A = this chain, B = another copy of it.
Amino acid sequence: MAISTRPPSGMRDFMPEELAHRKFVAATIAQVYEKYGFVQIETPSIENLSTLLGKYGDEGDQLLFRILHRRDKLARALENDQVEEKDLGDLGLRYDLTVPLARVIANYPDLPRFFKRCQIQPVWRADRPGKGRFREFLQCDVDITGTKSLIAEAEVCSAVAEVFCQLGFTNFKIHLNHRQLLKCLIKAAGIEIEKESTTLVAVDKLDKIEVAGVKKELNERGIEDQQVDKLLGLIIRPENLDEKQELERLRNLLKEVPEAATFIDELLSLTSLLDQTAAAGRYCIDTSLARGLGYYTGPIFEIRSPEFSGSIGGGGRYDGLIGMFRGKDLPAVGFSIGFERLVLILEERGLLNKKIAGPDLMLCHFDDVADPEVVAAAKAFRDQGIKTEIYPETPKLGKQISYAESVGARWVAILGAAEAASRQISIKNLTSGEQQVLGWREAARFIAGKL
């Protein structure tokens, strides 16, 4: 009886070519982040549920993969009459990389005061799988802790912009907003503060369901027509304004909410910083941007492209989260790249070269050559750094060579008994057909020079 051989729902096998693409993208990201002074860490896949629960909202808690207790602990849990989910495990798979960072900051008091950490690891969410949405997927996060300086915001946005440019991706914008400014907009529209979250959920859909849709949804969520019109008048940006003009427009409209000036000034300063970085010309002020996670406290960002609905990454300032672990607040700013969507777009646009994952050289041999000779010849090529595969059996030469072609080998080397005796070998370039007989080391050096 055969067992199912497919990966579980929402999970993927990465075969050599696809994995090579992913590794290339991850390495590019890591290399840019390093240039910005970020250092890489890794945390365990499994965290205590007490670390994870209550950080992502009820919806997030539902999406956690929980680990079942084992042996005695499980037996004891099952003895109860009314067994509940919470009795069955106290561990879960990592849901994002931000909460583990907050735990790490609290756990290692000797970290640098301004800890600039980069982390590229998978996370797990028991979400409904869909295009570009998986249950195990890679996240690439950068965060800076320990400072309220806007330089931190500028650093993470600039690093992300440079990553996208480096990957050949030009058609993107970093949307900027401010969590506190959103509060001011809601206040200015005369909407009660208790209705803030429900209002933001609707507003956040502006690029998907457009003005009419948002109006309808706001009404359904109990916002009155007059408030809706006032709010949308604030949020909908007139055409032909540049970023600084848009901020001035907001400043004028928000005169009756005095605290708004501070947050507009912050965004204005941030734009002046970004103008000096790789993010220059690649950002826009977007007051409809809300970002779901409750823990943001200051500027928020999201990276979008007209080629892909939804975001390809986002982040913001969260000055309260680390305090939940540390007992004492610590300011922090982060940006997370949606790796899976990024790779999908790069692949669709042909920006990832279909690199052949095959060997440089396939070593073919006749059955009159002793295997130790074959292995010794392979060593001569490998010693020159040539990716060498030995054809492990001795069918007819044609079969060996067509196999070499099928796996994308660039060269074949053919060893017969006469050649082996004099430590010679015939090498053939599979693209040009060029063929010659050389000594083993000569042949290895010749091919190494051509790679």
Contact = CB atoms under 8 A, between A and B. Distances in A.
A327 interface: yes
Nearest to A77: B83
A50 B126 contact: no
Contacts of A371: 149-151, 154, 269, 272-273
Nearest to A362: B37
Nearest to A11: B44
A88 interface: yes
A134 B106 CA distance: 23
Q: State the number of copies, please.
A: 2
Contact of A2 (B154, B326, B358): B326
Which of A11, A16, A20 is most buried by chain B, counting CB atoms within 10 A of its CB? A16
Main secondary structure of the interface of A (DSSP, over half): mixed
Interface of A: 2-8, 11-16, 19-20, 23, 34-37, 39-48, 50-51, 62, 65-68, 70-71, 74, 78, 83-85, 88-89, 91, 93, 103-104, 106-108, 111-114, 116, 122, 124, 126, 135-136, 144, 146-147, 149-152, 154-155, 158, 269, 272-273, 275-278, 324-327, 357-359, 371-376, 379, 382, 385-393, 403, 406-407
Contacts of A36: 382, 387-389
Contacts of A23: 40
A293 B280 CA distance: 58
A149 to B, nearest CB: 4
Contacts of A114: 389, 391-392, 403
Contacts of A152: 392
A3 B40 contact: no
Contacts of A43: 7, 13-14
A151 B37 contact: no
Contact of A47 (B7, B91, B150): B7
Contacts of A389: 36-37, 114, 116
A-B pairs, top 4 by smallest CB distance, nearest first, are A37-B389, A11-B44, A5-B107, A276-B376
A441 to B, nearest CB: 15
Contacts of A116: 389
Contact of A65 (B19, B67, B407): B67
Nearest to A385: B35
A35 B392 contact: no
